[in-house]
Amino acid sequence: MMRAFVAIELPDEVTTALSQLSLSLHVVRPNPQENLHLTLAFLGDQSDRLLEELHYELAGIPVQGFELGFDGLGCFNAGAPKILYARIAASKALADLHQQVRRAAHRAGIVLDRQRYIPHVTLARFGQGLPWRDAQRLEGFIADHATAPLPPFTVAGFSLFQSTLHRDGAIHRRLSGYGFGQDLGL
């Protein structure tokens, strides 16, 4: 079994800007720059056979490249924040790609959670949540950086990743990439 997800890799100038932003908060566990990505579907633990089936399904997704931008910062579980994220601006092309990836997973025999898709890039994790004082500081940080100039970027493909959990966080390894109009191999 392998823990896996499908995501859009971000250009270096975007990950650098996001990493600098998250480091300026001095949080307990900022997401390492090399782990910054835009998840399309979290797959959980899957067998090699199902991931191979998914690979062939993903390779058939007929999508053209498109532009994405950011729309401020936010956090999940606002009462006791657990994750700080950069919100992705609304995009029909992204919503369509997300649905195509979900359908590909379904055809491959992978059952995904039915949670509402909130496109974002995770900047930091706070474990069990932040103490009240730190949560207040985070709220101020989000307000102060609501219009942070984060660079837009072009989406030219997406990838299938393995995610291995360690005590210090996850390590992501790209298994296969899919450029729009081409399969980049498994």
DSSP per residue over 64-122, as a string? --EEE-EEEEEEESTTS--EEEEEEPP-HHHHHHHHHHHHHHHHTTPPPP-PPP--EEE
Residues of the chain with pLDDT > 70, as a percent, come to 94
Round to whole Å and give the CA distance between 154 and 147.
20
Mean pLDDT within 58-68: 90
Higher pLDDT, 21 or 132: 21
pLDDT digits (tens, 9 = 90+) for 15-35: 999 999 998 887 667 899 999
| Selected catalytic residue, list 37, 55, 98, 172 | 37
What pLDDT, on the 0 to 100 scale, is given for residue 167?
82
CATH topology of domain 2-183: Cyclic Phosphodiesterase; Chain: A, (3.90.1140)
Q: What is the structure's pLDDT at 57? A: 98
pLDDT tens-digit series, residues 74-125: 998 877 788 999 999 999 999 999 999 999 999 999 999 988 999 999 999 8
The question of whether 37 is a catalytic residue gets the answer: yes
Check residue 122 and give its pLDDT: 96
**Percent of the chain clearing pLDDT 90 (strictly above):** 68
| Amino acid in position 56 | Y
Domain regions of the chain by residue span: 2-183
Neighbours of 89 (CB within 10 A): 13
pLDDT bracket for residue 134 (50, 70, 90): confident
Q: Report residue 3 as tokens.
A: 């823990």
166 classed as catalytic? no
Quote the pLDDT of residue 102: 98
Quick one: average pLDDT of 30-47?
A: 96
Average the pLDDT over each of 42-56, 58-72, 120-134 and give the range with the smallest value.
120-134
Q: Which of 98, 120, 145, 172 is catalytic?
A: 120
What DSSP assignment string belongs to 24-40? Answer: TTT-SEEPPGGG-EEEE
Residue 168: pLDDT band (50, 70, 90) is confident
